[in-house]
Structure 1
Amino acid sequence: MASIDKIAWLHLRDGQLLSTRSHGKNRYYIPGGKREAGETDHQTLLREISEELTVALDPASLEHAGTWEAPAHGHPAGVLVRMTCYRATYTGELQPAAEIAEVVWLTFRHREQVSAVDQLIFDWLREQGLLAD
C-alpha cells in the first residue's frame, strides 16, 4: 500500500489548534509537510514551518507527540498518510507563506473541516483535554 510520510507541528493556544489552508484547497491541515531526501524528522519540520509560516521552531524544544495513519485526503483509495507530530516553541510572527493561503485556530467543532488523519489527531487532543469543544 502506498503511503505519504508527513511531519507536522502541533501548536495549541487556549484550547485551539493552529491549522492552515493551502491555496485552492477546501480542507484545513495541521502545518508541516513531506521530508526531502536524507532529511530527519526535525530537519523536515524546521524547514517546512519556516517556509509555510515564516517562524523558526526552537530545535531544542522539539518533542514527539505521536504518529497517526489514515487514508490520504485527495488521493486514490489505498493511499495512506502517516503523520508524525511534534510540539515545539517558536520565534517570529505566524504568517501564511508559500502555498499557505490562510492560518487559522481550530477547535473540536471544526473536526469535519480537516483531513482524516487530522481528525484522528483532533480526537486524541480532545481525549487529552487539550482541544476545546
Structure 2
Amino acid sequence: MIQVVCAIIQKDNKILIAQRSEKMNLPLKWEFPGGKLEAGENEKEALIREIKEELNIEISPSQRISSHIHDYVTFKINLIAYLCEYISGEIQLLEHKDFRYITFEELKNYNLADADIPVITELQRHLK
C-alpha cells in the first residue's frame, strides 16, 4: 500500500489541478498534485516537499479532508487529501504537462485520475 498525499490548493476562489505527463503512471490524467510519503515524513511535510519538487511553489496545508484506498489493480494507494493555501512562487512544471486553476464546477470537465474522484465529494462538503 502506497501512502500518497494530495493538495487541494486554493487561490482566488479557484482550485489547482495538474495534468500528468506522458511519462508518468496514468499518463495525461488530471489530478490534485502531490506524491508519496517518504520514511520519517509526516503528511504535511510530504505535501510541502512534493509541491515544491513538482511545481516549485510554497503552500501551507491547513485541513485534512479525506483519506481513502484506491486499487489500480497493479498497485494500491491510500490517498490523503488536504486543503492548502497558496503562499508564494510561480508555477514551473517540473514533472507535469499542464496545470489549470479552475472552479469547483469545472472539475467535471476534466479526466481526473480515478483515485482523485472521491476527493471531489469531500471537497464539496468543505467548500459549502
TM-score by length of 2: 0.78
User: Residue 35 of structure 2 contacts residue 47 of structure 2 at CA under 8 Å; is this kept in 1?
Assistant: yes
Equivalent residues in 2 for 1:1-133 (5 A)?
3-13=1-11, 16-24=14-22, 25-58=27-60, 62-72=62-72, 77=73, 79-106=75-102, 107-110=106-109, 113-126=111-124, 128=125, 130=127
1:93, CA displacement in angstroms?
Answer: 3.4
2:45 maps to a residue whose letter is Q
> For the residues of structure 2 that align with 1:55 and 1:26, how far apart are their CA atoms?
21
RMSD: 2.4
What do the CA deviations read for 1:16-64 (whole angstroms, capped 9, x no partner)? 4311112212201111000122111111011001111211123xx5221
Separation in 1 of the partners of 2:90 and 2:71? Answer: 29
Same amino acid, percent of matched pairs: 20
Distance in 2 (alpha carbons) for counterparts of 1:67 and 1:27: 20
Which ranges in structure 1 are unaligned for 5 or more consecutive residues?
Answer: none
Letter in 1 for 2:62: L
Structure 2 CA distance for aligned equivalents of residues 16 and 54 of structure 1: 19
Corresponding residue SS for 1:64: strand
Q: How far apart, CA to CA, are the structure 2 residues paired with 1:88 and 1:79?
A: 27
- Structure 2, unaligned runs of 5 or more: none
Higher strand share: 2
The answer to whether the 8 Å contact 1:51/1:97 transfers is no
The two structures have a TM-score, normalised by structure 1, of 0.75
- Deviation of 1:114 after TM superposition, in Å, equals 0.8
Preserved contact between residue 28 and residue 97 of structure 2 (Cα < 8 Å): no
Cα pair 1:71 1:116 within 8 Å, conserved: no
CA shift in 2, pair 1:65/1:55, >3 Å? same
Are the aligned partners of 2:66 and 2:122 in contact in 1 as well (CA < 8 Å)?
A: no
Indicate how the Cα distance of structure 1 residues 41 and 12 shifts in structure 2: closer, same or farther if over 3 A, else same: same
